[in-house]
Chains A and B, each alone.
Chain A
Amino acid sequence: MQVDPRGQRFAAAVTTLVLIAVLVTGNAVLLAGQALVFAIATVGGLRLAPYGVVFRVLVRPRLGPPAELEEQAPPRFAQGVGLVFALAGTAGYALGADWLGIGATAFALGAAFLNAVFGFCLGCEMYPLIRRITTKIRSDREVPA
């Protein structure tokens, strides 16, 4: 399925603002809310992604049609990466390990900001690197013949 890339930029911009608010207030509930948004986008697809819905209803009618569409798989995978960091951060804040809350939220903020401002999808780019590392670990574990 294809999606409007401007919707991704918009969603990343909203995510950036939410994550800045999380860092400033240290509010675990707000971060949990953002984790839920990531989860819906990852599991349900970008059609159901809350910020994407806002974009379609409020922003897109004011813009012209998109110059080009893009595959939803890369941004959807990136939402999954965001989910992992948001969950780790929520756990950190909730359990009083503020360093974990701040650290995980900071990573997610960096990625969301790069996506919003530069259109650069860190989660998408990391995918082959992650695969490289995980398969290396697996092959290292194998018993040599």
Chain B
Amino acid sequence: MEGAIVAAVVLAAATVFGLVRKRRDGVLRERRGNGMAGEPPDEQLLAVVELGERATLVQFSSAFCAPCRTTRRVLGEVAALVEGVSHVELDAEAHLELVRRLNVLRTPTTLVLDTAGREVRRAAGAPRKADVIAALGAAIG
């Protein structure tokens, strides 16, 4: 009997979690406490990322990650489409220290950096193309 109750609770909780996740997945958000005037760019990030002229899309990926492929395609297309924007993909495993510093919890995580390398937006999960382009507006504008 206990087990059946646990099963019902788990299924209900997983349904709620799944629905919330689905809504949030890939949405580019402004980071809290990271306003436009914001903090200086992360030096360690700048050390490994070659910044684009106007903005940079940094993608954290890992080997065991199916949506990373979709993200790579989307960000690559946007970088090709928008002048002065570069796409840099980092292997989370090879940059664990950086992953910790930037508090990257999942792959793929996408950071939109402005021309100085400050984080303007971030998305966990594969972002949609239109959303990335809109976020670039915030980084460039």
**Residues of A near any B CB (own CB < 8 A):** 5, 19-20, 22-26, 70-71, 73-75, 77-78, 98, 102, 105-106, 109-110, 113-114, 117-118, 120-121, 124-125, 127-129, 131-132, 135-136
Contact = CB atoms under 8 A, between A and B. Distances in A.
Contact of A128 (B11, B66, B106): B106
Contact of B3 (A25, A113, A136): A25
A128 B92 contact: yes
A124 B65 contact: yes
Contact of A132 (B3, B4, B96): B96
Interface string B2-23: 1110110011011101100110
A77 B66 contact: no
A131 B96 contact: yes
A105 B21 CA distance: 22
Contacts of A5: 66
B66 A71 contact: yes
B104 to A, nearest CB: 8
Contact of A120 (B6, B10, B13, B18): B18
Interface residues of B, number: 30
B18 A118 contact: yes
A2 B7 CA distance: 33
Contacts of A120: 18, 21-22
A73 B65 CA distance: 8
B32 interface: no
A105 to B, nearest CB: 8
Contacts of B82: none
Given A26-B3, A127-B64, A129-B106, A109 B10 contact: yes
Interface string B106-117: 110000000000
